[in-house]
Structure 1
């Protein structure tokens, strides 16, 4: 039986986090996975499918004997925008205008400029996305659906085109919603978008309300890259006949008779078995990814024990669900172990290890972090993290906003060492995303705890990283 806080207040924080850790306390962000190669029906929730429990005073004040991560530099966070629900991306366009575009999961794209956050949305898609929070299994405390990605065409200043990923309602039985990738153009005034200009590029039926991923990003090659989760069926990530559990790459400037976009001829499966759109696969739920120079770096949310970050390369297989991080994973049991792992896929591909990983719990059983949030390599004026990969952990608690701000030092080979950045005054958010604008890096999140239903609150905040 699924227990709620009102039903049982005796569950300790340690028990809560251990229970939630098997599937990820972040609920929809961390998700839960299950076995069954052709499984199409959601299983009945089990005790490990819920994080709906509360903490107990006798364990709330306890902590690990030593921090899990090496303690890194102290940085500041300057608040630059508030009043949002779930800000999950901050992006810029290649234009001679001082403005940033912040997307709110509830459907709005807002402009942030020298005067702050404009109240009128640049584009409002709230009437085109699913009703957030409705129809969810009771083991999902945070709805992952909604407005998920935004990218501006490299020639935006000339053509006014940009692209979005969002979750649209479906009228088809057994389809929870449709994942949409669309092109829009700006209105004549250049200050807002034209909502009637939508051109749908991809319309993907999604059986379950989870593991959509959603980041879209133009690469230095001018092609559009997009991340897609495994749809809550882990075997999708090794199935090259669908787009789930992958990073795709398409040419938005070309149109074919059979599809409204082109395929780069250098995509790894062109002329091979599998879908031409696929660029890399074997991923679980690459919630956030970004280019840093010519490197595409993605945070891939774990299930049982480990969170990971991968450098995405053409044709690479990152191992899910055969591996979780560098560890062996049993997709039938949903568990990871230190046993000897397979090193190749059934097709003979070498399974690529992540450049970094961290566990849900330390050796003493205390929480480290759930749902890795991918970021970018900082190149700005905050010297303490210059050249570091800036990323985070969504949360380590169900009842308080307790994200973690992390930095890793990129290496030419091997794993990247991780430090936890110390934030002046503490970090008071669940970390949802990172963004960059020239020399500035931004951290996005919500001050609302998971137990407080964040998508119904206006506790979203955007911080700028400072010395």
Structure 2
């Protein structure tokens, strides 16, 4: 979800353009993760806030919860704390009517009514790249680690699950490798046999950024995976590489020498480009998910705009030729209005997103950086029902200042947005959203970027209530 540091916050957890350059120096240096290790993280499960308590006690925005600029004002909800003591909760997924929380530093924990189970369901911390090491000094949050988990639709009988994670590389030309692996759970399905790993994808990653990482089975039974552009903008338009794209594979079959199958109706099968590709032209689709048969992804912006896309087979979403609804100049790294490139060099139309929001409003105050893709809410919170709920990672580099936004899906045109306010304030930087039994969950860290979040146990999981 990488954003180049663009500043810190004022007293209201907002960032002004006028303070931008001065804060880059402070936040860029303070946010560097140096020497962070995952050793002993499984022994650091401590309840800092008891499950069942409410979120926030006067976070950014006071009782109304968060900055008020740009988005229309929406409903106010409560947020109940259901888990604490995590480092960087990166996803919440379900299987067997159970909830599981991923911690970016390597563990997967079962989540019960009384919080996290004490022993991890899966621990891959010894297989991860060393988080916090080898980062450019302008990177404030390490995006590598344990990034995605998907249980096979027949998990109850075949015990198969799939994991995306960042592994070290022996090649000095590479920063790390991005792996997609299959594992098999133990017979009682209460843990994972780590010796069962079968690697499906092993992708060289030259830079420590833009991995994306979400994986999810679609209603068609195929596995979909999000991959960022690896900090190479033109990867999004290169259909001969698995970067800046959504892939779609069949884990239950084999095509040729591949350890997985290629669905016959993938859009590039039999033609130019990689057969695994389902959609492309993306920068860093940090979080995505199915809501019914519709796959929706947030794509983190670079220059000015964040966007949310409905992912369709064979669609090109324009990066780096477009950012949001706007023209983007790949050479200058700027986004502007005016006449834009409407087609790729191959003649594909460049698909517009469903919504966008800027990094700064017209007054020069921060709206937010790094969109966090979410889901359509189907639960009991009436004002949010059937709305697409997503997050904004932060609007500050010195305060935990994430935001929640609801968008109303439309048959055509842009989706209107409203900010969802949290009673007492939303006191986290938003890392992920999840859904189980109709309930919506928000995952994040209470540590500010300047406080080296991956060296703390400030990660928290909230359940939204009306």
TM-score (norm 1): 0.87
Give yes or no for contact 1:76–1:466 (8 Å, CA) kept in 2: yes
Distance 2:317 2:236 in 1: 9
* In structure 1, distance between residues paired with 2:80 and 2:162: 29
Q: Provide the rounded CA distance (Å) in 2 between the counterparts of 1:13 and 1:385.
A: 28
- How far is 1:253 from its partner? 0.2
Offset from partner CA, 1:235-259 (integer Å, 9 cap, x none): 0100011010000000000023411
Deviation at 1:67, TM superposition (A): 2.4
> Is this contact kept in 2: 1:49–1:139, CA < 8 A?
no
Which residue pairs with 1:44 in the alignment? none
Structure 2 alignment gaps of length 5 or more? 8-13, 32-59
Measured on the aligned residues, the alpha-carbon RMSD in Å equals 2.3
> 1:389-404, aligned counterparts within 5 Å?
389-404=388-403
* Cα 1:220–1:88 shift into 2, 3 Å: same
1:82 to 81, 84, 88: 84
Write the mapping of 1:58-207 to structure 2, written as runs, cut at 5 A: 67-93=69-95, 95=96, 97=97, 99-207=98-206
| Residues 1:233 and 2:232 are matched in the alignment | yes
Whole-angstrom distance in 2 between the partners of 1:421 and 1:114: 25
Q: 3-state DSSP class of the match of 2:413?
A: coil
C-alpha separation in 2, matches of 1:428 and 1:3: 20
**Partner of 2:214: helix, strand, or coil?**
strand
Shift of 1:51: 3.6
Higher relative contact order (CA 8 A, sep 6+): 2
State the partner residue of 2:295. 296
Instruction: Summarize the Cα distance change of 1:18–1:412 in structure 2 as closer, same or farther, 3 Å threshold.
Output: farther
In structure 2, what is the equivalent of residue 333 of structure 1? Answer: 332
Match of 2:37 in 1: none
For the 8 Å contact 1:229–1:244, the answer to whether it is kept is yes
Separation in structure 1 between the aligned mates of residue 157 and residue 229 of structure 2, nearest angstrom? 36
Residues in 1 aligned to 2:25 and 2:349: alpha-carbon distance in whole angstroms: 32
Structure 1 residue 393: Cα displacement: 0.4
Q: Aligned pairs, how many?
A: 425
Q: 1:371 is matched with which residue?
A: 370
- The residue aligned with 2:281 is 282
CA shift in 2, pair 1:207/1:48, >3 Å: farther
CA contact (8 A) 1:268 1:314 kept: yes
> In structure 2, what is the Cα distance between the partners aligned to 1:241 and 1:119?
44
Q: Partner residue of 1:28?
A: none
Does the Cα contact within 8 Å between 1:3 and 1:52 map onto a contact in 2?
A: no
Task: State the match for 2:36 in structure 1.
Answer: none
8 Å Cα contact 2:379/2:438 also seen in 1? yes
Residue 395 of structure 1 and its aligned partner are, at CA, apart by 0.1
- Cα distance, 1:167–1:435 mapped onto 2, change above 3 Å: same
In structure 2, the partner of 1:317 is: 316
1-side partners of 2:447 and 2:19: how far apart?
18
Aligned partners of 1:184 and 1:199 also within 8 Å: yes
Task: Tell me the equivalent position of 1:439.
Answer: 438
Contact 1:4 1:52 in 2 (8 A): no
Deviation digits for residues 260-316 of structure 1 (CA, Å, limit 9, x no counterpart) = 000000000000100000000000000000000000000000000000000000000
Give 1:441 shift.
0.8
Residue in 2 that maps onto 1:33: none
| 1:427 partner SS | coil
Cα distance in structure 2, aligned partners of 1:53 and 1:199: 39
Gaps of 5+ in 1: 6-11, 26-46, 55-59
Task: Give the superposition deviation at 1:418.
Answer: 0.5
1:14 maps onto 2:13 in alignment: no
Name which of structure 1's ranges 380-389 and 297-306 shifts more when overlaid on structure 2: 380-389
- 2: distance between equivalents of 1:246 and 1:51? 28
3-state secondary structure, aligned to 1:328: strand
- Residue of structure 2 in register with 1:305 after alignment: 304
Shift of 1:340: 1.0
Q: Is the 8 A contact 1:85 1:459 kept in 2?
A: yes
Name the structure 2 match of 1:412.
Answer: 411
For residue 128 of structure 2, give the secondary structure of its aligned residue in structure 1. coil
